[in-house]
Amino acid sequence: MAIAFGREICGNLSSAETREWLITNGIGGYGSGTVAGLLTRRYHGLLIAALEPPLARTLLVAKLDETATYNQGIYSLYSNRWTHSQLEPLGYHHIEYFTLEKNIPVWYFACGDARLEKRIWMQQGANTTYIQYKLSRATAPLTLNLKALVNYRDHHQESSGKDWYMTVKPVERGVCVIAHPQATPFYLLSDRGTSCCEHSWHYGFELAQERYRGLNDREDHLQAASFEVSLKEGDAVTFVATTEIEANLNGKTAMQSYYFHTEKLLDRFQSELPFDKKDPPEWVGQLVIAADQFIVDRPDSKYGTMGKTIIAGYPWFGDWGRDTMISLPGLTLATGRPEIARSILRTMGHYVDQGMLPNRFPDSLETPEYNTVDATLWYF
């Protein structure tokens, strides 16, 4: 059964802000957020890039705040919680439906008699996130305005915009953001419409889940660009957040590439099933796709090649040796991918020291920590 929520969930803040989505890129980068569109964790964002795959995960793009103008009406489709728990605006009221297509999160917004669809996914093997909007129903043109909010910090931390000036400059089809002289440049691009450089800090985002955890619950984000596009019924526009200057801006081919990847996973799984179990329930396929989110690339320190490893859990953890060994059969063998299991075992085997496998690889790429006694037993 597909994951799908109607207005009874999407229009109820306590339900919509506690249901979260996840997208990944196969090299340790990810994006995550809530069905309501609110940022409630420091780990929420459209592009949290793995700058030294699979680690050094860095929040680059926090969110896009969308406003639609349609038939003389103005519809704020985004939601923010500010200091002292003030909610403004209440864009989640316009969500009539949320679902997953494979594992692409999809929102359906109602703007009068118009329906605007929003999809988010990542390119496999690249720090690139796609955000696509499609006007699937309308009786008049709709103008979509986006404010792109960015940052540049470790995903475990929080940041303040005070006295922080980033370099934002125009490039073809969008803008380039350089947070500081040593930072990796990243880009906000679009396949159509107009873009404008901005530099306006938005102060005092309140992160409800961080407050619940007893941690600092305040965050600032920089509005680095604004985009505007006019859509007619059936039109689509794709925005790209990326560290790649030559990123593919064609939303159609980018989505086809993503679906090709997921179909290969499902086909491989189906081919390995016993003859009498060739037609499993739909939710089993969803689990196969979800399992792939945890399998990422890791450079092989011994041979200088690229191996595979397993992220112990999003958003907090990197790849942990013990967790990798425990989860390996279910994520690789049960899904019909023994070659991935082989690569993980070989990669981890090259880190053996005095008979022990490393338990944790620090984000800063320091020496792995050998603080588990049974990871080797799980290996065997």
Query: What does the DSSP assignment read for 147-176?
Result: EEEEEEEETTS----TT---EEEEETTEEE
Q: Please enumerate, as own/partner, the contacts of 267-272 that have beta carbons within 8 Å and a separation of 24 or more.
A: 268/335, 268/336, 268/337, 269/335, 269/336, 270/336, 271/336, 272/336
Give the burial string for 94-107 (b: 16+ CB within 10 Å, else e): bbebbeeebbbbbb
- Helix H or strand E segment including 257: helix 251-272
The amino acid at 275: F
pLDDT digits (tens, 9 = 90+) for 72-92: 999 999 999 998 889 999 999
Q: For residue 193, what pLDDT band results from cuts at 50, 70 and 90?
A: very high
Output the average pLDDT for the chain.
94
Q: How far apart are CA 68 and CA 66, in angstroms?
A: 7
pLDDT at position 377 is 93
pLDDT exceeds cutoff 90 at 297:
yes
The letter for the amino acid at 124 is: Q
Specify the amino acid at residue 105: P
pLDDT at 40: 97
Give pTM, 2 decimals: 0.95
Q: Which residue has tokens 């040796």?
A: 321
